[in-house]
Structure 1
Amino acid sequence: MDILKRVLKLLAIYILLVGLNIISFAYLYYQHCVIVNSNWIEEHIENSQSLYFHDALYFSGITYLTIGYGDITAVDQLGKFLTVLQGFSGVIINSTFTGMFLYYLVKRPRNIIITNKIFIRYKDNNDRFYLSVRVGNKGRALVNVNRVLEVFEYEESNRKRILHMAQQYHYFEKLLYWDIDLHDEKNKELLDYLKAAIYQDKNILIRISIIGTDIEGGEFVFVSRYYTRYCIHFIREYIGLYEWQSHKRSTINWNDFNKTCRLDDKKIQDFKNL
């Protein structure tokens, strides 16, 4: 659907430019009386009968779209110059838009989305907290996916990266949940930065990046999102996105992509004591 919208928009622009080209040159042909009907050309061209504007419009159209039919012809140097100029402008417009059409038909649209907040998620089944985001893919599947988390802090007017983490995911079809275990000792530094941001108003910036390759087109795909400390929310779980039909998953309701269930205050206090 995204491709169709972009192609239709480009097609409308193309039709408008072609129409303006034909009308503009038709006006010039008519205004300067530089075209006549081939059957009316007399021995002295200056005595040949001039054509009406709709004839000039017809000549302009076939000059742009074809090499002409010979029923109408230019009668002087200015007319020949305008004819060649219009033919050249047609080549430029058509070749440019042909390339753009092919580009938009092949190019993958920006259809990888990341939640607009970053979450500290509590899971009841193992009584652990996770730093979590949900990633959605509205297009073709990706392979060789890298998930990257970076934490930055500001020192005066400079931004400094203080933490970098990455994980590889081999195949990404529709939904991907990146949950980073904050109880794991190797993630203690990340935990400390999060607690400092939430409880001590430390000015940090978190960036989540998704990098992968389109499985069909082989196109490189990159998307990232930034989060300030105000974007860190506590949740219990994400709202499910799949719509079910006869006990089978069917379509995904992308309208609920950013919806979550809030974590109760007691568990939030438990995180503070972590």
Structure 2
Amino acid sequence: MDIIRRILLLLIAYVLIVSLNIVSFGYLYYKHDSIAFSDRIPMSNRNINNLPFQEAVYFSGITYFTIGYGDITAVDGIGKFLTILQGFSGIIVNSTFTGMFVYYLVKRSKNILITNRIFIRYKKSTKRFYLSVRVGNKGRALVNVNRVLEIFLYENDVRNRRFHLSQEYYYFEKLLYWDIDLHAEENKELLNYLKLALFNDENILIRVSIIGTDIEAGELMFVSKYYTNHSIQFIKEYVGLYKWKGHQRTEINWKDFQKIYKLDHDLIEDFRNI
């Protein structure tokens, strides 16, 4: 629907600009008395009566679209100049809008979603806590996806990046759950920053970025979202968005994309002791 809306808006703009061009040049032809019916031009006298304005607009229209029936023609230098000028203006407008139409037909909509909050997710199956976000893709699949997590601290009014984590994911179809194991030794630094934010009210800024390539158009996609220490929430699970019927997935319910199941308070206290 985003593509249709963009194309309709572009089409409306094109019609308005072309109409303005035709009416404007029609007025100039009419004002300067520079065109006439071809079969009414005297061989020895070019001083003829001006055509009606609607005929001037008609001539302007066929000139813009380079049709040139020959029933009306320019009778002096000004008319010939205006005819050539309008022809060039038509080429410029048409080529510009043709390029824009192609661009918007191919251009991918901004349809990559990231949850509005960043979560600390407890998985009962592993009895571990994970830093987690859910990413949704409402468009074509992405390949060569790079997921980036960064943590910034403010020091002397300067925002400095203190943590960086990047992971590759080769194929992203519709939904991606990025769960970072906070019990893993390599993520101890990340765990410490999260504890500072949650229990010491440290003013940290977290940025999650998704970078990938559209599988059909080859267009590079980038989306990112920022989270403060107040955007961190404990959950036990995300609300499901679809079900499997054999090998077929039901239609994804994007309305529930942000919905989660909160974690019990007792388990939140266990997070302190990791």
Shorter-normalised TM range: over 0.9
Gaps of 5+ in 2: none
How far off its partner does 1:149 sit? 0.7
> Matched residues in 2 for 1:9 and 1:139: separation?
21
Query: Counterpart in 1 of 2:194?
Result: 194
Gaps of 5+ in 1: none
Aligned in 2, Cα 1:166/1:246: closer, same or farther, shift over 3 Å? closer
TM-score normalized by the length of structure 1: 0.95
Query: Counterpart in 2 of 1:125?
Result: 125
Return the letter of the residue paired with 1:23. V
Query: Counterpart in 2 of 1:180?
Result: 180
TM-score normalized by the length of structure 2: 0.95
Residues 223-266 of structure 1 show CA distances to partners (whole Å, capped at 9, x for unaligned) of 11111111111111111111677995321111111111111211
Residues 137-182 of structure 1 show CA distances to partners (whole Å, capped at 9, x for unaligned) of 1111111111111111111221111111111111110000000111
The 5-angstrom pairing of residues 195-210 of structure 1 reads: 195-210=195-210
Query: Counterpart in 1 of 2:141?
Result: 141
Return the letter of the residue paired with 2:121. R
Native 8 Å contact 1:243 1:253 kept in 2: no
Native 8 Å contact 1:120 1:233 kept in 2: yes
Aligned in 2, Cα 1:22/1:161: closer, same or farther, shift over 3 Å? same
Query: Counterpart in 1 of 2:15?
Result: 15
Return the letter of the residue paired with 1:128. R
Query: Counterpart in 2 of 1:44?
Result: 45
Return the letter of the residue paired with 2:46. I
- Tell me which stretches of 4 or more aligned residues in structure 1 moved more than 3 Å: 243-248
Query: Counterpart in 1 of 2:32?
Result: 32
Native 8 Å contact 2:33 2:49 kept in 1: no
Return the letter of the residue paired with 1:107. K
Q: How many residues align?
A: 273
Aligned in 2, Cα 1:118/1:52: closer, same or farther, shift over 3 Å? same
RMSD over aligned Cα atoms = 1.6
How far off its partner does 1:2 sit? 2.0
Return the letter of the residue paired with 1:29. Y
How far off its partner does 1:272 sit? 2.4
> Matched residues in 1 for 2:210 and 2:248: separation?
29
Native 8 Å contact 2:163 2:190 kept in 1: yes
Query: Counterpart in 2 of 1:100?
Result: 100
